Amino acid sequence: MVRQTGNKKSPAGRLRIVAGNWRSRLLDIADVPGLRPTSTRIRETLFNWLAPSLPGARCLDLCAGTGALGLEALSRGAAVAVFVERSAKAARMLRMNIETLQAEGAEVLQMDALDFSHAQASAPFDLVFLDPPFAADMLDDLCRLLSERKLLAGNARIYLELDRNKPEPKLPEGWQVLKNKTAGNVRYMLVTPDKDRSG
């Protein structure tokens, strides 16, 4: 993910896992212009929100970039994380980091997020991380495809990250916003397709 705000707690060009089995582990980041992990501050808040949903979860990290969100989920007890990343260089580094961590349940697919969402037949995911490049304006289409392709478990949680100055994404019918916050130039949201669940 192209990030305008860096992770101030990690050395330049490194990703720090915040908590869990790999707490404080530092991983290299591919030398791709603008590629940065979601900030430590936002990840701490997000994974506090997700704590009850993490054990044994199936996760999808679309537009994975550094893989910060999927790796954090695995570190904290998720069973599976599928990383979808278009950049060959970023996908290669992500595979190396997964090997370094000896992360079980991790799979990297080098492909476009929209292509994955159109074509992929998969068991439903419990958690989905959507952090596309801010300029791409993909969130509406990705949310729609996740719903149409039945890629979500009924009580799934979907994390959305976007430029705070842009309109909030148009969510599929019945989806509910659980959390909605800003940090710097970033808006980050947690939503669910399950209209009967409020938290």
* pLDDT tens-digit series, residues 69-121: 999 999 999 999 999 999 999 999 999 999 999 999 999 999 999 999 887 66
**Which residues does 108 contact at the CB level (< 8 Å), separation at least 6?**
64, 67, 83, 85, 91, 94, 95, 98
Asked whether 64 and 141 are in contact (CB, 8 A), the reply is no
Domain 14-192 part of CATH 3.40.50.2000: no
Half-sphere exposure of 143 (CA within 13 A, CB side): 25
DSSP 8-state symbol, 166: S
DSSP 8-state symbol, 136: G
CA angle 114, 106, 26 (to 5 degrees): 105
Range of lowest pLDDT (4-18, 40-54, 76-90, 127-141): 4-18
